[in-house]
Amino acid sequence: MAKRSVPEINAGSTADIAFLLLIFFLVTTTMDVDTGITRKLPPPVEDNDEQADVKDRNVLKILVNSHDMLLVDGKPGNVSTLKDKAKDFMTVHFNNDQYPEVKEIVIEELGDKKIWVSKGIISLKNDRGTSYKMYINVQNELARAFNEMKEEASTEYYGVKYTQLVDDAKVKVINKIVPVRISEAEPEDRGGGL
């Protein structure tokens, strides 16, 4: 008797099965990349009296009211000029009362190099009626100011753009030289918003 061979399984439908799976995954999944502005919230303060005393000249006050209008350091401001103003404020100015105090920090990674940094803080306060869009615009402009300063510091000390720094230690050094100092005050309800 001749040896009976095992009949081959028909694999013609494998493609159809794979197609079904493929279409299922195409429908149920998304490919969108989430982008956004990352911020770190401060830990809650137990006591309001405990708030740190900061000298007036060290703070750039930015207020956004419920009509989405800006008040920068007591004067009406504009989003388009905000970046330059913030950058100018955070740059080191020696012996000038109009600008924040400066302090010297030592960067060990750069061979104990001494660098002057500004003690300035940007204080952002918004009303409950401020639109989210305006708030993001302001946050974006402030982020732009800091990013530009980081870029400048990076090209000065490492000769490459901040975004092209691959070494984590170098990124940390730049963040030490240009700390993102944005402080957000507790919100206030003045404009009768929601």
- Which residues are at the interface with another protein (CB under 8 A)? 11-12, 14-15, 17-19, 21-22, 25-26, 28-31, 33-44, 66, 126-133, 135-137, 139-140, 143-144, 147, 186-187, 189, 193-194
- Beta carbon nearer to another protein, 157 or 191: 191
Output the smallest distance, CB 66 to another protein, in A. Answer: 8
Distance separating alpha carbons of residues 190 and 153, to the nearest angstrom: 40
Q: Nearest-5° angle of CA 96, CA 122, CA 73?
A: 65
Q: Which of 119, 2, 130, 6 is nearest to 52 (CA)?
A: 119
Output the smallest distance, CB 171 to another protein, in A. Answer: 13
3-state SS, residue 71? strand
Output the smallest distance, CB 115 to another protein, in A. Answer: 24
Contact 124/62 with Cβ under 8 angstroms?
yes
- Beta carbon nearer to another protein, 26 or 52: 26
Output the smallest distance, CB 56 to another protein, in A. Answer: 25
Distance separating alpha carbons of residues 162 and 138, to the nearest angstrom: 22
Output the smallest distance, CB 80 to another protein, in A. Answer: 8
- Beta carbon nearer to another protein, 29 or 95: 29
Q: Which of 154, 58, 47 is nearest to 99 (CA)?
A: 58
- Beta carbon nearer to another protein, 12 or 76: 12
- Beta carbon nearer to another protein, 4 or 40: 40
71: β partners:
63, 76
